Amino acid sequence: MSSVLAAERPTVAEPSSVVPFRIAAIDASLGAEVTGLDATRPVPAAQVRALKEALLERHVLVLKQQRLDDTQFERLASYFGAVFRPPSNVPVLGSDPYGGNTPDIVRVSNVDGGVLGHDELAAHADHHWTPVPSSGSLLYGIEVPSEGGDTTWYNLAAAWDELDAGTQREIEHLRLITYNPFLRKLKPLTTGFPLYRTPDIAPLEPFEVHPLVRTHPDSGRRILYLGARTEVEIVGVDPQYGAALIARLRQHLLQPRFAYTHRWSVGDIVYWDNQATLHARSAFDNGERRVLKRISLSGSRPY
């Protein structure tokens, strides 16, 4: 851990037996650890404000040692926004195959009817392919494997900042389609999963056009809004040029200097800004149990 964030604002003296509320930056491009938060009870206003300020600055918050039932978990999430609900014809994690019936709490698990299994997951932003992607998610660790299943977040604001000026000028007004991976699973190609849609591939519908470089709605920071292995297309450019540009940008944003890898402990709740980060998961032994619960929050149309 590095310094305590300026956003921390303890307001009352705590008994010596109680861990004081504290937000400390993690020694990485993003991330902060939160201790002394009791989310089994209503969270004090000063702490909610401190958490919001820290998220805006650090993009990922690790809330330690939580023991919440679903009602308490939902109440915690509601301090930060309403639950994300996608259009009924746009499938997302946990929904019906063609969209609809998405639960408020998604069970991310390799057992007991959960979703996502045990394999490695490439770096992505949740709901990127929807008209109004989620602003963030809270993921709660219930059971974790002894090894693997780690989550890595990438700082897309820093990735934009560190691009050379020429590349920034080249891409700042480009528009991007991120095609829905759940629809691609329903319509697989014999050539495998494409990283860039070329004219010989029929576009998956419905799709949305968003900026390749978006503006964060709260901080105003510019963000390189691109997943690592999603099927994409830059609107109105030569496909060969577009594919080469996307490959170059992906190589840039996945540099370790933009990353923080979290080793899960039972009771961790990680709250991340889905507008400014990607997240990936390492594989783990399917003979072990990994059970987490996720609530995603509504967002705004990228601009």
199-240 tens-digit pLDDT:
999 999 999 999 999 999 999 999 999 999 999 999 999 999
What per-residue confidence (pLDDT) applies to 112? Answer: 93
The residue assigned the tokens 């900026």 is 211
Grouping H, G, I as helix, E, B as strand and the rest as coil, residue 161 is helix
pLDDT confidence bin for 18, thresholds 50/70/90: confident
pLDDT tens digits, one per residue of 60-107: 999 999 999 999 999 999 999 999 999 999 999 999 999 999 999 999
pTM score, two decimals?
A: 0.94
Rounded-to-integer distance, Cα 64 and Cα 75, Å: 17
